[in-house]
Structure formats: C-alpha cells, structure tokens
Structure 1
Amino acid sequence: MTPGSVRVRVPASTANLGPGFDALGMALCLHDTVEVTVTGAAVRVEVTGEGAGAVPTDEKHLVARALRAGADALGVALPGVLLRCHNAIPHARGLGSSAAAIVAGVAAAYALAGKELDEHALQVAAEFEGHADNAAASLYGGLVLAWSEGVRYRAVRLEPHPGLAPVVLVPDTLSATSVTRGLLPGNVPHTDAAFTVGRCALAVHALTARPDLLLPATEDRLHQDYRESAWPETMRMVRELRENGVAATVSGAGPTVLALPSGGSLPSRVDTAGFTVRALPVDRTGVVVEPGGTNSR
C-alpha cells in the first residue's frame, strides 16, 4: 500500500423500497466524507458530525475495519493510518450509515493500493452486513437490484426515473437491524409471498419508467407489518402518507420513512410532528474517491 492520502465521499442509501426486502436499494444525496492518510503509526480515527463521541476511535471503528478487510482482500499490508470521518448520515436510522462507512473503508483500501473498484469490492463490503442492497447503492449510486448466489453477493445498477423526488422523514428514535430482523417470522403465507413478488417486480418498473405506479408498487406484505412493534410511529406515518396518495415505505431497518411524492412535496394535511422532513434527491454517482487531489471513481 503506497504512502499518501485519499478522500472518499459516499452517499446514504434507502433499502427495500417496500416489497424489495434485501433486494432493492437507492442512493440518496446525503454524504459522509472520510480522509485517509497513511502515517506508519497506529490506526487513529477522528470523527465529526454524526456519531462523534459515540463510536470507537481506533482500529475497532467500522471504517477502519472495512479498510483492513479491503487491504486483506487485495493482498496488501495495511500500515498505520489516520482516518478523519466527517459524518452527515444519521446513525441507526435506516439510511445506510453502516454500509456507507464500510464502502468508504473498502474504497479507500482500493485507492491506496492503486486499484480500481471492481465487483469484488461489493463482495467485501456486503459480507459485513450479510446483504448487498445498501452497500451496492452506496458503491454504484442510483437504483440497485441486489441478490446472492450462495456466499457470493451481486448487484446491478438501474437508472432511476428522473422524476423521482425522495423525501425522508427522520424521527428521533433509533433502530437496530439485528433487533428488527429478529421480529420477522420464519414463514409467511404463500399468498403474501406471491403478492410481494409481484409488487417488487412492479417496483422496478415504477422506479425506472412509471413513477405514476409507485403507490401500488411500494406495497409490502413481507416485512413491514411484522416489525411494527419496533417503530409504531413509523408505521403510522407510512399509513397516513399512503392514505393521502403518497408512496411511502420504511427505509431499511427504520425508523426513517421514505416517501416518493409526486412533485417532491408532501400534502400539507399530513401531520409530520415528531419527524424531521428532508428532501434528498437520488445520488446517481455513488462513491467518489479523490486520490492526491485528482477526482476519480
């Protein structure tokens, strides 16, 4: 691994998009930035913004762990580094903060090793979470369709419709994927599975070509209702938005709500008390690495 420094800018993401559980993801214009400098000393981490004072500042930090995993995957030695993490993505809110940190670390490892990002970078990143939807969205930008083949993670990027105007509603409460996954049943009715498969296929079409179909396309029977006890206010907001004609889903593991209103504005009659409302356009670029002051992907 060569001496020097790199700057990595990585977007937030929203996963599932209703029926696409562990399969659909989309990158959003909210970014964490990580500056990685090879020092030759121990791993040190400085954090500003989200997570400051609450996350590790040594080799246990998620970006540092992903950096090491990336270096190991490339067969290069990881020297001491200084990580300066400038975080804007809220933690434990269902906006892909952990995936963004992982992608930042892996992308930095590739850059410091003088390598271009490839499909194996997704594999390294996805292994941390056990699914590839958020990581693929942060890597590739736009809309992604992710799947696994045994232990291999794969994803393809799709171009989202230019009329998509995502709005997120972020509550103060936190959520943990490990907790919400524990609420899912081992089996679901065949009718619900068949319904969700159809809606997931429709969601791909709606998100890329027919946004007028987003309301039915984002309906889910596979996971959201089962996890309502983890975020009852989130589900209340999802239902209120949908009753007012706005396609709305739980973002990832929650508790953030993703809304896809026509025209980009929520109806004024919707009561958003308890939520911070933010318009976040689709990030169509994905992770950006700037080595040595030169922009590159």
Structure 2
Amino acid sequence: MFTSPAHAQTEWAPVGATWYFNRPSFSSSGSYVLFESIKDSVINDKDVSVIKVTINGVTPVSHEYIHQHGDSVFYFNSHNNAFYLLYNFSAVAGDTIVVHDSYTKLTPAFFHGEDSIEGFIYRVLEVDSTFISDRWVKRQKVESLTTSWGFTEFNVHAYILNGIGSQLYFFGLTGAIPIKFYPSMLRCYDEPGFSFINPAWNHECDFISAAGNDPKEADCRVYPNPVDDIARVHLSEPIETLTIRSIDGRTLQTYTPLQQDASIVVSTLRKGSYLIIITSKHRNISKIIIKN
C-alpha cells in the first residue's frame, strides 16, 4: 500500500470522458456498456455532467447526470427529482457511505432489473493512492454491507478510483445474483490527457466477443428473449425444476416439468430482467430473461 501525496481536487466526468464496462452475459456474445460525458448542464440549480449510456456504443440505455461538490460525487435520480451521494473521497477508513437507506427506484443505467432496491450502503476499508498515467490517483478499498446493492459482491472487496469510480461498475451491483449477469468490470477509462486500462482486461476497450454463450450450456435454450407472455425452455436432458427469481434473489415462480421442454408464463411479471435457474440431475444453469 502506498501513502498518497496531497491531492488537488479531481474533476469528475469532464466533457469527452468515456468509460467501458464489461457486460458478459445479457446477450449471446460478450459486449460492453459505454458511458460518454457529452456536455455540461444544470438540474435543480446544480451543475451536472450529462452521461450518455449505451450498449456497444449503439443501443441507447439512458442519460445519467453526475454532480460534483468538492470531493463528493452525486447522481441524479429522476424518479425522486433528487441527488444522492455516490462517492465521497473525503471519507476515511471505517466510514460508511449511505447512498440509499430505504426502498428506491433506480435509474436505467443501474441495470437493476427490478422496480426498486432495498438499500445501497458500503464501507470504506482503506484509503491509499496508485500511480496511473503519470499521476497519483486516490483510491478507496470498499466492501458492501448487507443491503441489496453495493459496489461488491458480499464478502468481497473492490477498489474505487478518484475521478473514475468503481473498478467493477460505476453504479454498483447486487450481491444476490452471480456477478456474470451484470456490467461487472471497468475495462477502460479515458479523458483528454489521462487514461486507465484495467490490468484484468487484455483486449481493445470496445472489443465484442464472437464466442457466444458458455459451450457447456450450448444445449440449453430460453426463447423468445425478450419475451411478452410465455417463454420456452429446452435442455438436452430432463429438467427437474425451473425457478424464476427477481434480480435481488426473491423466488417468484417454480416449475417441475420433468421433461426436456417446458413453458413458463411471465405475463404477470413486471417489465424488467429476471433470473431463470434450470436444474437437471447433473447441472444448475442460470439464464437472464427480459420481460417486455
């Protein structure tokens, strides 16, 4: 661990800044979430950076709004017409950061898949600095607490970089569902005169895999996806149970088809993303399905 020198205030999301986040399992091939800081604006008398969010730089997700006040960074929640603290780089080891302490409807770029989350709280474990692109960058080591949202899976540590955000995903993730179903790794960050490439990423920032799904699951299909009313599931061996869970881990439906093909009724579910657990005698397979 390195002790950091004194830092001048770091600017967040200058116009032209870009973030690439890995998005491994929502589609049939690996893809990415792109954040682009496109302009400055004002909301509720506060200066904001306007962040355009897309999939693969093409499919629109949303526009998000970031406000910086000193060492604190807030995101704007349009559902509540309010700003919420997301990062605080004045925090020291042992401090707890409360983003949300009650049920809250999140903005689209969280990729939460549910109408609301129960809470978003995390703790700062250590503060140090790391040398990136010819400058010292303040860094926080954090852990999520027992709420439905945080910056890490439960019992796992992660780093937040000043001026960049989480090295996993800018808006955090849930600890209830396997991390492979979320934007879950910062590939690259770039702004004029400064850039960061995650050492864990060894491709171009905008790399899209053509490899497709896990070959061990090639004989498992869930279709159509997205779906309106009825989804069909096929496996090359008898399916013992099918379970539909919300993104925060709640069991919503359970089926016991005991055959290779099954249908599941999703017409009563709200729009959003759901996890389907397909269990056979030999395997447990997890798939994400999107309800229109």
TM over 0.5: no
TM-score by length of 2: 0.31
Radius of gyration: which is bigger? Answer: 2
More helix by share: 1
With CA pairs under 8 Å and 6+ residues apart, which has the higher RCO, 1 or 2? Answer: 1
